Chains A and B, each alone.
Chain A
Amino acid sequence: MIEKGKISGLQMAILLYPTVVATALLILPATTGQFAKQDMWLSPIWASLFGYLAVMIAYRLHHYFPQETFVQYSEKIVGKFPGKLLGFGFLFFILHTNGMVLRDYGEFVTGNFLKQTPLIVMIMSMAFVCALAVRGGLEVIARSSQIFLPVFIVLFFLIILLLIPALNPKNMFPVMDEGITRSIRGAFVPSLWFSELFLISFLLPYLHEKEKGLKWAVVTTAFIMITLVTTNLFTLLLFGDIASSFTYPVMDAARYISIADFMQHVEAIVMAIWVTGMFIKICIFYYVVVIGTAQWLRLSDYRPIVFPIGFVLVSVSMWSASNLQELTHFTRTSWTFYAGLFLIVIPIVLLLIAKVRHKFPKKQSH
């Protein structure tokens, strides 16, 4: 195996949590609120079903090919050439998505905090830091996130705690006055973020205790769901109808915090800590691309391709959209089908084929 490190179930959970939460925390209320209005806190619950689905598919596939990642077993399931093609498509999708995430981060930071710093500086510095972690391997990413995640979570709770005085429960009502359809529509984009959990396909082979993999993945999905429901609920209670008109509602919520004239305008700290979440997310995507490419090309080591892929990543990120509006539009429209195809449809098809092949093993004795 290329990756020599091993991670524990807890470490996998710690890697997965920010992978979904980091971006969602920032733009989820805006994305869901657009459709779901005051029911937006329900949307993550529906969306999480896709998370469970993705986890289940990945786990079932892992069950058939316990030592291999998506890129490797797709070749075995549908044959060498189509498998390579699928692997390439998947890797390209992850690279592209990672580029978009990186761009999101860059746009957010330059738009809100460092208005005069060029976007490329932000993107390159982040890509460089991530490259260092990816070069260290899965264990290093896992350990770094173990250091950062507690801070991330404490921050999250602190914001919520400090916002409580400003909340207005009336903003929630009426609950489901048009049935659940609205909240389900709002769940559309987040459900694809949840589908990103399919990336555990690249983590499961490196687990210490394989049997605990599913348990931890399901627990993580539940925790992500709870976090996102809380986020949406609090933004809703704080802003009411206008929640969806902010680009970054959570950051605006942080601006509300003011305690004893001393703790105020903490959004810069919020940003700084949120960056750690983004770091883990980008690292995981980056790592998947790197290890997937190494496996796709059958390299013996993945480290030499880390920096070249980082370069491609920066380019993709710069080219993926010309501005934030275009990026957001793309995320909410085309990307959903794009992601649905690679994260849900193709894995399901692969799983079905694998199942059939497993049931009727034919001419395996070559």
Chain B
Amino acid sequence: MMWRIRRKKDKKKKQSALKQSKQEQDPLYTHITENENQFRQIYEDCSDVILHPFSIGGKHQALLIYIDGLSNTEEIDDSVLSPLMTATVNDGEQQVSTLIKNTVAVSDTKEVHTFSDCIQAISTGKPVILADNSQTGFSLGLSKWEKRSVESPEAEKVVRGPREGFVETLTVNTSMLRRKIRSPKLKMQSMEIGRYTKTNVMITYVDGLVDKTLVEEVLNRLNRIDIDGVLESGVIEEFIEDDPHSPFPQTLATERPDIVTSNLLDGRVAILIDGTPFSLIVPTTLYSLLQAGEDYYRRYLMATAIRWLRYLFLVISLLLPSLYVAVLTYHQEMLPTSLLISMAAAREQIPFPALVEVLMMEITFEALREAGVRLPNQVGSAVSIVGALVIGEAAVSAGIVSAPMVIVVAITGIASFTIPRYSAATAIRMLRFPMILLAGTLGLLGIMLGIIMIVVHLATLRSFGVPYLSPMAPMQFNEMKDTLVRAPWWKLNKRPRLTGESNKYRQSSGQKPSPIRGKE
């Protein structure tokens, strides 16, 4: 406890030191020259910051500050500078600010009183106007910068479903959500994280569906973060997780607005972060990491079948190499005789035990995959040639690995691509290696012990208070219809119990369509 308190004190000290050095809390000076000097000092060696002194109607000295490239210069010229410079001025201090208010034709105009207000406005691209003999400045909502246009998300493709994905600009992302949930119940609380980056972070939820304590918990955890900069949601994720050492992701990272929307409607909270298309959804469960957004747009029978396929391949991607090792090393009797003979024939030339063979190939495959992600497109084909021909074909004919082994590795590789969430897939990928070692030392029993350990770990995990294995354990029979199967939409009447408890029903019951109902 003592240690914790001390750390908190340290933190406060650091923060205050940072602030004092910039004199951020000070109010603006009355004289424009003092203000200008102060700003020139603050923005020393910042050649992209433009301080433009001018006079309002030829009488009052004024100063315009903005950052080149963050603000709309044309708008500044047309609706700020030219009206102000040509305005007719009467005397009197009070009139300057009213004059600016009345003359500047910008809708989002706010008063600023301190240096920190000004700095904040300027760094978000809003030009600031200061006038002589006035302690009040104005920030003008004229920010404009280059942004990537909305494209279909690279990491989460769908065949059927919306094609738009989040971009790096927060306002675009929030507008996408707003377009999907057109209700004032959609709340967005913004906060800044990062001492230097001052990254805008938006906590989004639907009021009336979400558990208030969850929102508070999210805000608390975010408030605790004190770092230099937030570059990606991954940084935030590591600060707010329940179990930081777990290989399993405890937040759902997605760049699809439709997935965020459906989770918000289930009573979850989304954290949107400026500068990255990936938003975080909390709390999450293992099963939601195994569901693709498309599951809900397909016909439900297909969606159910594909869900089962995915569960099967999840097991395969975790266990197939270790099962291969275990069976070949300890339980040969399990194989049918003919298969055993052909396997033995294939392995006859191989100098390595099965364990070494599997480890070798799996590591090579992981390396290939990692290389494939980083490579520029032009050389991408080289990797596939090397991977397919050299490692697959040549290694077998050279007698270094056996052909069944290559098949095992290939199936495992495919299996790990069936997991829709990349972060969950990487967890399984990583756990495969300890499982292979366990299989090599204790056979099937080792695999079982490994599985027990993983399940115990998963049972211990919680994501923002929600058990990670729910609704399977603790069992919620009602939610099985969105876990084991994907029930038709007219059956999914209830929200998940642990997040959507405050507002249980998402639709009215008895909406099963039928021809008779149509004639009513």
In the complex, residue of chain A having the shortest beta-carbon distance to the beta carbon of B339:
A262
Q: Produce 1/0 per residue, B76-117, CB < 8 A to A.
A: 000000000000000000000000000000000000000000
- The answer for the CA separation of A303 and B336 in the assembled complex, in Å, is 47
Among the stretches B18-26, B385-393, B437-445, the one at the interface with A is B437-445
**Which among A129, A133, A271 is the interface contact of B444 at CB below 8 angstroms?**
A271
- The answer for the CA separation of A109 and B459 in the assembled complex, in Å, is 26
Residue with the greatest number of chain B CB neighbours at <10 A, chosen from A144, A261, A273: A144
In the complex, residue of chain A having the shortest beta-carbon distance to the beta carbon of B337:
A261
- The answer for the CA separation of A275 and B448 in the assembled complex, in Å, is 7
Chain A nearest CB, measured from B265 CB (Å): 27
**Which among A133, A141, A146, A265 is the interface contact of B474 at CB below 8 angstroms?**
A146
B334 engages A113 (CB within 8 Å): no
**Which among B331, B445, B453 is the interface contact of A132 at CB below 8 angstroms?**
B453
Q: Produce 1/0 per residue, B373-411, CB < 8 A to A.
A: 000000000000000000000000000000000000000
A147 engages B444 (CB within 8 Å): no
Chain A residues, CB < 8 A from B474: 8, 11, 139, 142-143, 146
**Which among B444, B448, B473 is the interface contact of A144 at CB below 8 angstroms?**
B473
In the complex, residue of chain B having the shortest beta-carbon distance to the beta carbon of A131:
B456
Chain B residues, CB < 8 A from A265: 331, 333-334
Residue with the greatest number of chain A CB neighbours at <10 A, chosen from B331, B445, B472: B445
A129 engages B475 (CB within 8 Å): no
Chain B nearest CB, measured from A148 CB (Å): 7
Q: Produce 1/0 per residue, B465-480, CB < 8 A to A.
A: 0010100111100000
- The answer for the CA separation of A147 and B459 in the assembled complex, in Å, is 9
- Count contacts on B: residues with CB < 8 A to the other chain: 27
In the complex, residue of chain B having the shortest beta-carbon distance to the beta carbon of A266:
B334
- The answer for the CA separation of A196 and B333 in the assembled complex, in Å, is 37
In the complex, residue of chain A having the shortest beta-carbon distance to the beta carbon of B338:
A261
Q: Produce 1/0 per residue, A133-151, CB < 8 A to B.
A: 1001001111110111000
A269 within 8 A of B: yes
Chain B residues, CB < 8 A from A121: 442
B225 within 8 A of A: no
Q: Produce 1/0 per residue, B130-167, CB < 8 A to A.
A: 00000000000000000000000000000000000000
A276 within 8 A of B: yes
B443 engages A114 (CB within 8 Å): yes
- The answer for the CA separation of A117 and B444 in the assembled complex, in Å, is 13
A114 engages B459 (CB within 8 Å): no
Chain A residues, CB < 8 A from B467: 139, 143
A272 within 8 A of B: yes
B453 engages A136 (CB within 8 Å): no
A132 engages B456 (CB within 8 Å): yes
B330 engages A113 (CB within 8 Å): yes
- The answer for the CA separation of A266 and B335 in the assembled complex, in Å, is 9
A147 engages B473 (CB within 8 Å): yes
Which label, helix, strand, loop or mixed, suits the secondary structure of the B interface? helix
Chain B residues, CB < 8 A from A113: 330-331, 443-445
* Also in contact, A136 and B459, with CB within 8 A (given A143-B469, A268-B331): yes
* Also in contact, A271 and B459, with CB within 8 A (given A113-B330, A143-B467, A146-B472): no
A316 within 8 A of B: no
Chain A nearest CB, measured from B277 CB (Å): 34
Chain A residues, CB < 8 A from B444: 113, 268-269, 271-272
- Count contacts on A: residues with CB < 8 A to the other chain: 37
In the complex, residue of chain B having the shortest beta-carbon distance to the beta carbon of A133:
B456
A276 engages B448 (CB within 8 Å): yes
Chain A residues, CB < 8 A from B305: none
In the complex, residue of chain A having the shortest beta-carbon distance to the beta carbon of B327:
A268
**Which among B337, B443, B455 is the interface contact of A147 at CB below 8 angstroms?**
B455
B511 within 8 A of A: no
**Which among B445, B460, B469, B472 is the interface contact of A271 at CB below 8 angstroms?**
B445
A28 within 8 A of B: no
B449 within 8 A of A: yes
Chain A residues, CB < 8 A from B448: 272-273, 275-276
B475 engages A136 (CB within 8 Å): no
A245 within 8 A of B: no
A264 within 8 A of B: yes
Chain B residues, CB < 8 A from A181: none
Chain A residues, CB < 8 A from B445: 109, 113-114, 122, 271-272, 275
- The answer for the CA separation of A259 and B459 in the assembled complex, in Å, is 36
A199 within 8 A of B: no
Chain A nearest CB, measured from B135 CB (Å): 56
Chain B residues, CB < 8 A from A168: none
- The answer for the CA separation of A84 and B456 in the assembled complex, in Å, is 33
In the complex, residue of chain B having the shortest beta-carbon distance to the beta carbon of A135:
B460
In the complex, residue of chain A having the shortest beta-carbon distance to the beta carbon of B456:
A133
* Also in contact, A144 and B447, with CB within 8 A (given A113-B330, A114-B330, A266-B334): no
- The answer for the CA separation of A279 and B459 in the assembled complex, in Å, is 15
Chain A nearest CB, measured from B466 CB (Å): 12
Chain B residues, CB < 8 A from A264: 334, 336
* Also in contact, A144 and B456, with CB within 8 A (given A10-B475, A114-B442, A272-B447): yes
- The answer for the CA separation of A117 and B440 in the assembled complex, in Å, is 12
In the complex, residue of chain B having the shortest beta-carbon distance to the beta carbon of A149:
B473
B452 within 8 A of A: yes
Chain B nearest CB, measured from A131 CB (Å): 10
Q: Produce 1/0 per residue, A249-280, CB < 8 A to B.
A: 00000000000011011101101110110010
* Also in contact, A129 and B452, with CB within 8 A (given A146-B474, A272-B445): yes
A225 within 8 A of B: no
Chain B nearest CB, measured from A66 CB (Å): 22
Q: Produce 1/0 per residue, B323-362, CB < 8 A to A.
A: 0000000110110111000000000000000000000000
A67 within 8 A of B: no
- The answer for the CA separation of A337 and B240 in the assembled complex, in Å, is 54
A126 engages B449 (CB within 8 Å): yes
Q: Produce 1/0 per residue, B251-272, CB < 8 A to A.
A: 0000000000000000000000
- The answer for the CA separation of A74 and B70 in the assembled complex, in Å, is 75
Chain A nearest CB, measured from B408 CB (Å): 18
Residue with the greatest number of chain A CB neighbours at <10 A, chosen from B330, B452, B460: B452
B453 engages A129 (CB within 8 Å): yes
In the complex, residue of chain B having the shortest beta-carbon distance to the beta carbon of A283:
B456
In the complex, residue of chain B having the shortest beta-carbon distance to the beta carbon of A6:
B474
A333 within 8 A of B: no
- The answer for the CA separation of A271 and B449 in the assembled complex, in Å, is 12
B452 engages A144 (CB within 8 Å): yes
Chain B residues, CB < 8 A from A148: 452, 455
- The answer for the CA separation of A276 and B447 in the assembled complex, in Å, is 11
Chain B nearest CB, measured from A187 CB (Å): 32
- The answer for the CA separation of A10 and B473 in the assembled complex, in Å, is 11
- The answer for the CA separation of A92 and B261 in the assembled complex, in Å, is 56
In the complex, residue of chain B having the shortest beta-carbon distance to the beta carbon of A110:
B445
A143 engages B452 (CB within 8 Å): no
- The answer for the CA separation of A133 and B451 in the assembled complex, in Å, is 13
Q: Produce 1/0 per residue, B416-456, CB < 8 A to A.
A: 00000000000000000000000000111101110011011
B469 engages A147 (CB within 8 Å): yes
- The answer for the CA separation of A265 and B456 in the assembled complex, in Å, is 29
- The answer for the CA separation of A126 and B448 in the assembled complex, in Å, is 10
Chain A residues, CB < 8 A from B443: 113-114, 268
- The answer for the CA separation of A144 and B456 in the assembled complex, in Å, is 6
Chain A residues, CB < 8 A from B472: 146-147
Q: Which of A274-312 contact B (CB under 8 A)?
A: 275-276, 279
- The answer for the CA separation of A268 and B331 in the assembled complex, in Å, is 7
Chain A nearest CB, measured from B471 CB (Å): 11
- The answer for the CA separation of A126 and B446 in the assembled complex, in Å, is 10
**What are 10 A-B interface contacts by the 8 Å CB criterion?**
A11-B474, A11-B475, A113-B443, A122-B445, A144-B455, A147-B469, A148-B452, A264-B336, A268-B331, A268-B333
Question: Nearest 4 CB-CB pairs, A to B?
Answer: A146-B473, A143-B473, A143-B459, A136-B460
